[in-house]
Amino acid sequence: MTRVALTRRKTLTGMAAAGAALGLGAPAIAQGVRTIRWWSPQGAPAQLAAYKYQIETFEAANPGIKVVFEATSDEGYPAQFAAAFASGQVPGVVTHLPSFAVTNYYAQGLLTPFDDVIKMIGAEKFYPNANRVYEMPGGVHAGIGIGNSAANMLWLRKDLMAKAGLTKTPRSWDELRDAARKMQGGGIYGAPLPYARNSMTSLVFICFIHGAGGSVFSPDLQPTLTSDAVVNALEFYASMRELCPPGATNYSWGESLTAFTSGATATGLYTGRVLVNTLQQKPENAPHITCALYPTISAATPHWTFNDFPSVMIPKQFADQEGAKKFAAHIYREDGYVKQLHAAPGHVLPVLKTISEASAYQENDRIFMWAKPRKDAPTRP
């Protein structure tokens, strides 16, 4: 999948003129003001407020450097980055891209090693092996994670389970399909699985292949797409289509998330953003939702999850490398990092153990009302 994407990017090397159309902005340094452009596909209002705080505190500590935030897109970033790399008008810092994108860009010689930033943050603050996925030949790091995000949790409506007479969480695919079928009705569908040609469908279906005990490639990197596991995954995925809303043929991450948090489906598949979105969109459902590891083909097949490791990277073409590294490190300063994590509670979890242990992070009812009781917290669902 990623090799095809890289080849497609290379075909866009003549697209320098597309930079303006895509909002790529001006060169990194102009008229004596050092400008760092920050790109991210994560731009919900609460997140933008956190970014604003991080930018303001950085600019206050670094007179003469200006940071400008520019939103990208989960589905459109490959073409946008292709145009940026082709034109040389690259951002200084990029956050929230998946780890495979970061390592692919680094392998093409497009990124700066991130080890200086790790030292500025403090390598000892990270969880053990938190940055292992970014290790490249020679022991350098292509980037680092800005958080952890397990994207294929199974979310359930306990009230709908009780109404349907279901007493246990589905463990196998057959149990999941049976539960979804029993809970479907009255305008509520069983599941919000995606069936569009996009990144969500690709990643989710890879999860189902592993959930059938298979993999996309063999140990010697040969495709295994005709294996029994892949066939079983395809057959099950096809059987779930009738239990998903009609619009599932166009679903990506946002649509799938909203289908569950709005109450349109009885089960969901997403990260911890379900918690805050349910409280915002359908608070009456909050006491009735729970989550579990996503089912596999049978109880004998181990659970499997993917972590897209929302990441941070610095393009090599960016002129002000010193400024970009300073800002990348600043993102992890406790006050701003906690604000960013709390902007979508439970969605992206901290990669720094020092943050997880900080009282400023733990004082968030929208995360911990589901995790542990507190005297001043709302009733735990």
Per-residue pLDDT tens over the stretch 245-285: 999 999 998 999 999 999 999 999 998 889 888 988 999 99
Question: pLDDT tens, 180-204?
Answer: 999 999 999 999 999 999 888 998 9
Q: Is residue 101 part of a domain?
A: yes
| Residue 168 to residue 178: CA distance in whole angstroms | 12
Please tell me whether residues 50 and 167 are part of one structural domain.
Answer: no
Residues 342 and 206 in one domain: no
Dump pLDDT digits (tens) for 210-256: 999 999 999 898 999 999 999 999 999 999 999 999 999 999 989 99
Give the domain range for residue 318: 2-148+308-368
Average pLDDT over residues 43-67: 95
Residue 59 has pLDDT above 60, yes or no: yes
Supply the pLDDT for residue 3: 34
Strand partners, 247: none
| Predicted local confidence at residue 30, as pLDDT | 46
37 and 10 share a domain? Answer: yes
Residue 83's contacts (CB-CB under 8 Å, 6 or more residues apart) are: 12, 15, 16, 18, 19, 22, 24
Helix, strand counts (H, E) of the chain: 17, 9
Q: What is the pLDDT of residue 310?
A: 87
Residue 84 shares a structural domain with residue 133: yes
Band of residue 151 on the pLDDT scale cut at 50, 70, 90: confident
Mean pLDDT of 350-356: 94
Q: Tokens 């349910």 map to which residue?
A: 278
Q: pLDDT tier at 78 (50, 70, 90 boundaries)?
A: confident
Angle between helix axes 228-239 and 199-211 (nearest 10 degrees) is 120
Question: What's the confidence (pLDDT) of residue 368?
Answer: 59
Residue 298 maps to a domain = no
Mean pLDDT of 65-69: 97
In terms of domains, do 141 and 177 share one? no
Are 329 and 353 within one domain? yes
| pLDDT at residue 100, rounded to an integer | 87
Question: Residue 150: is its pLDDT beyond 90?
Answer: no
Band the pLDDT of 344: cuts 50, 70, 90.
Answer: confident
Q: Which tops the pLDDT comparison, 381 or 155?
A: 155
How does strand 93-97 pair with strand 65-71? unpaired
22 and 49 share a domain?
yes
Q: What is the pLDDT of residue 308?
A: 64
Backbone angles phi, psi at 99, to 5 degrees: -60, -35
User: Which two structure tokens, joined as six digits, stand for 54?
Assistant: 């991080």
Q: Are residues 173 and 193 in the same domain?
A: yes
Q: What is the DSSP annotation of 13-68?
A: TT-TTHHHHTT--S-SEETTEEEEEEEES---HHHHHHHHHHHHHHHHHSTTEEEE
Distances from the Cα of 239 to the Cαs of 166, 185, 225, 232, 368, in angstroms? Answer: 20, 17, 19, 11, 36
Structure tokens at 163: 């109404």
Both tokens of 5, joined, read 């994407």
| pLDDT, averaged across the chain | 87
Parallel, antiparallel or unpaired: strands 65-71 and 33-40 = parallel
* 282, 315: one domain: no
Are 121 and 67 spatial neighbours (Cβ–Cβ below 8 Å)?
no
Q: Are residues 23 and 123 in the same domain?
A: yes
| Shared domain check, 47 and 113 | yes
The single-letter DSSP state of residue 173 is H
Does the structure show a pLDDT above 70 at 2? no
* Per-residue confidence (pLDDT) for residue 31, from 0 to 100: 55
**Across 13-22, 23-32, 307-316, which has the greatest mean pLDDT?**
307-316
Burial of 216 (0-12, 13-18, 19+ CB in 10 A): middle
Q: What is the CATH number of the domain that holds 214?
A: 3.40.190.10
Residue 301 lies in a domain: no
pLDDT at residue number 365: 74
- What is the tens place of the pLDDT at every residue in 30-39? 456 799 999 9
Write the DSSP symbol of residue 223.
B
* Cα 135–chain centre separation: 20
Neighbours of 180 (CB within 10 A): 22
* Same domain? 45 vs 126: yes
**Chain mean position to CA 204:** 13
Domain count within the chain: 2
Q: Which residue has the higher pLDDT, 25 or 111?
A: 111
Tokens of 10: 């290379």
- pLDDT, mean of residues 142-168: 93
Domain boundary among the residues 237, 265, 293 is at 293
Lowest mean pLDDT, pick from 65-69, 150-154, 313-317: 150-154
CA 49 from centroid of its chain's CA atoms: 19
Average pLDDT over residues 89-107: 94
**What does the pLDDT read at residue 335?**
97
Does 273 fall in a domain?
Answer: yes
Question: Tens digit of pLDDT for each residue in 308-331?
Answer: 668 999 999 999 999 999 999 999
* CA–CA separation, 363 and 79 (whole Å): 40
